[in-house]
Amino acid sequence: MNEATEEFFASLPARAPAVLRSPVSGTIQIDLTTDNRTEHWLVQLSQGEVVVNRARGPADAIWNSSKDLFERLVTGRAQGIAAVLRNETTFSGNVLLFLVFRRFFPDPPGARDPRETAREQVGRSG
């Protein structure tokens, strides 16, 4: 397993209180493939809490991705919704869980909040 992916999953429980503020709950099984091998991650989401296991299990949604694409997602070099729309990855089940889970992915390198940019522009002109 790629180190970035391992670190990403390990960081989820600590980051959950800041990311999962809505009352959405459910379980996502994330299947990461390379060649003929698949690794499974089971992520249980609830308000302010995440439990991660390396297992298969009953899930409200299943996300299939290559390990390479998922590493790009966890490092901000790819975007989840764009990958689904391009059919580079598949997601089935409760799509709301995907929309909530993607909040854990970082912004692309060099991305800035547009509000911050606007404040800088106002500061320069005023």
Question: Options 3.40.50.11290, 3.30.1050.10, 2.40.37.10, 3.40.50.720; which CATH number does 3-125 get?
Answer: 3.30.1050.10
Find where tokens 């970082």 sit.
106
Query: Quick check: helix, strand or coil at residue 36?
Result: coil
For the chain, list residues with pLDDT below 70.
1, 111, 126
pTM of the model: 0.83
Q: Pairing state of beta strands 61-66 and 26-34?
A: parallel
Written as six digits, the tokens of 90 are: 């598949």
**Most distant CA atoms of the chain, gap in Å:** 60
pLDDT tens digits, residue range 91-108? 999 999 999 999 999 887
Q: What is the pLDDT of residue 17?
A: 94
Report pLDDT for 2. 75
pLDDT of residue 60: 98
What's residue 98's pLDDT?
Answer: 93
Whole-angstrom Cα distance, residue 84 to residue 79? Answer: 9
User: Can you tell me the distance from the alpha carbon of 54 to that of 29, in angstroms, rounded to the nearest whole number?
Assistant: 9
Residue ranges per domain, the chain?
Answer: 3-125
